[in-house]
Structure 1
Amino acid sequence: MSGQGTLAAFRRSLIQRWGGVSAPGWGGLEWSDWQPLDRSQIKAFAPHGPGVYRIRETGGTCLSYLGQTSRSLRTRLGTLRSELAREGGPFADPHVAAAYFWLLLTRDGKSFEFSCASLPGDKRHLRGHEDLLLWLHRVQTGRSTPINYARFYPGFRAPTPTWIGAKAKGRRGRKTEPLSADELASVISDKQAPLLWTDGPIAEAPWWSGSVAADEALTSLPQAPGVYGLFDPALGDFLYFGESDLIRKRVAQHLKTFRHIEGLSIFYKKGRSPFSKNCRYEWECDLLGNHYFNHRSPPEWQYRKHG
């Protein structure tokens, strides 16, 4: 069976198993019914506790955004809803997606629905499950959720946090604003094919550009944008996946921590130019979501502090 045929068969098996991306059992979770994104419905249907949540335009079939919280779903969704009423638009905090939703609401007249699922676990597994769901969305629909991957409303500049630096000594942040004509002309709107893989270990995927031993990384890895994975042969698995605008430079930083691992190798995938950070984030999530699907856990060193 061809690669496309394998992917199509895998997509059908996922739909048979869990339904589409808006289904109540999607991803093997117990999602709440879809409800309008307003305060009363959030209070009634979003639990106090950790979990994941999904948002779509009212009546839509694909998702607009996926998120997770290790604290309270009710608080997280309530914060997002409150920020949509902020005069002049939200900052990038306390909810990073609020400004994009605010522009859809105020400029395009969109309305939104939410659905959430309780998911006990530590922050690593919550983030891993978020990666899984984002990957599943790309597999099943052939497209990304538009408000994830650090993407922003076309033609506008993303806001900053409320304060740049410490509040006592820093400066006030910036809300969203239209890009100038010169800025619009320089915007990169690239698209990259997803790194979707369903047949065997990720290390055997055909789309890797190559792999090198750790001892050769500083001379053999490209100074190019893309994604990479650190593979431990004793473990038989990847320790970490990452993205960078300069693969060799970023891996050099990791090797300060991981060089002691015997037989460590680095797999990498270069992107075609132009290659935005948004597409690098998509590729990174493809790797992480696939890993979580196969192992039910993130790579050993993912979401941990290291070099």
Structure 2
Amino acid sequence: MDYEGLVYIGETGRSLRGRIYALRRGIFNGEMPFSDPHTASPSLWTIVDRNGPGFEVSGATPPIVEDKQQRKAVEDVLIALHRWETKTNLVGNFGRMPPGYSKSKTRSTGIRGGRSDDDTLRSFREGVAPLEWENPEEVTDPNWMGLRWSARRPLEDALGYVPDGGGVYRIWNSGNCPPLEYIGESVSLKDRLVKHRRNRDGSLQFSYVPLPDLEEKFQLKQVESELLGAHWLACGEAPVDQY
């Protein structure tokens, strides 16, 4: 399989040169690199292993990225736009791997990945299709981004009205929205929103989208990231408490 176009989009608050060096470290070696110092390095190694070298890299340092929250939001914007325009998922983001490989763990474990035909591995799991981008600017509407959001309720009611399964959720202050307060994902919506209930003002509003068919954490992360990108495009800023 050839990989044309983008493979990975990332950000850093430190040295751009240093982060790119960490990403390329070991990807041309005979063994798969460990998942540190950069979690995407094993994915790039697999592409070299199958297709040979040929990567190109570019970076940008616009003034907006000096702010951590804005920088991380821009990363989600770029990932969201890539998904929307190409209808594909970046193979190196969200800890993913191309099919046919196991992934190296951190250097401290000493466990390296490599070729594998074990189809139970996460690398064999499909990513999530891009969202429909219906009504992208109305961040509290029941059909925002083409999803079916639950009816809004005060956060103090989270214990009794939230299912146990996985999905995405949003929290906002009715008197100061947009922007939203927070966008999140969880394999257990009830557990996560009950935690928010303990740590936040109970009068905040919330709604959620159950996504029972998404079995992998990285799949929920893909949806969350796209929502965060759409939020920034709609509001010009990230949710208040994000990142």
TM-score tier after normalising by the smaller chain length: 0.7 to 0.9
The offset of 1:69, in angstroms, is: 1.1
Q: Which 5+ residue runs of structure 1 have no aligned equivalent?
A: 1-55, 164-171
Q: 3-state SS of the aligned residue for 2:11? A: strand
Which of 186, 189, 197 pairs up with 1:244?
A: 186
Write the distance in 1 (CA, Å) between the matches of 2:9 and 2:194. Answer: 32
Matched, 1:96 2:39: yes
C-alpha displacement of 1:78: 2.0
Which is bigger in relative contact order (C-alpha 8 A, separation at least 6)?
A: 2
Larger Rg: 1
Residue of structure 2 in register with 1:137 after alignment:
82
Distance 2:127 2:74 in 1: 27
**1:202 aligns to 2:202 (yes or no):** no
The match for 2:107 among 162, 165, 168 is 162
**Change beyond 3 A, Cα 1:195–1:250:** farther
SS at match of 1:242: strand
Q: 1:224 aligns to what? A: 165
1:178 Cα deviation from its structure 2 partner = 4.0
| Superposition map of 1:13-52 within 5 A | none
Work out the CA distance in 1 between the residues paired with 2:122 and 2:220: 21
Do the aligned partners of 2:136 and 2:234 also contact (CA within 8 Å) in 1?
Answer: no
Q: Which amino acid in 2 is paired with 1:245?
A: V
Give the deviation of 1:63 after TM superposition: 1.4
Q: Which of 159, 177, 181 is the matching residue for 2:114?
A: 177
Equivalent in 232, 240, 243 of residue 300 of structure 1: 240
Question: Which whole-Å CA distance do the structure 1 matches of 2:73 and 2:44 have between them?
Answer: 24
Contact kept? 2:171, 2:207, Cα under 8 Å? yes
TM-score by length of 1: 0.69
Aligned equivalents of 2:58, 2:124: Cα separation in 1 = 33
Provide TM-score, normalisation by structure 2.
0.86
Q: Which runs of 5+ in 2 are unaligned?
A: none
1:46-91 Cα shifts (integer Å, max 9, x gaps): xxxxxxxxxx95xx4x311101111122121122223213441211
Matched residue, 2:71: 126
Alpha-carbon distance in 1 for matches of 2:129, 2:87: 12
Higher mean C-alpha displacement, 144-153 vs 89-98? 144-153
Aligned length: 235
204-213 or 186-195, larger mean C-alpha shift: 186-195
Higher strand share: 1
In 1: Cα distance, 2:113 partner to 2:24 partner: 17
1:69 has 2:12 as partner: yes
Deviation at 1:179, TM superposition (A): 4.2
Match of 1:81 in 2: 24
Q: What is the alpha-carbon distance in structure 2 between the residues aligned to residue 187 and residue 180 of structure 1?
A: 9
Name the Cα RMSD after superposition. Answer: 2.5
Q: Determine if the alignment matches structure 1 residue 189 to structure 2 residue 134.
A: no
Which residue, 149, 163, 171 being the options, matches 2:94?
Answer: 149
Deviation at 1:188, TM superposition (A): 4.0
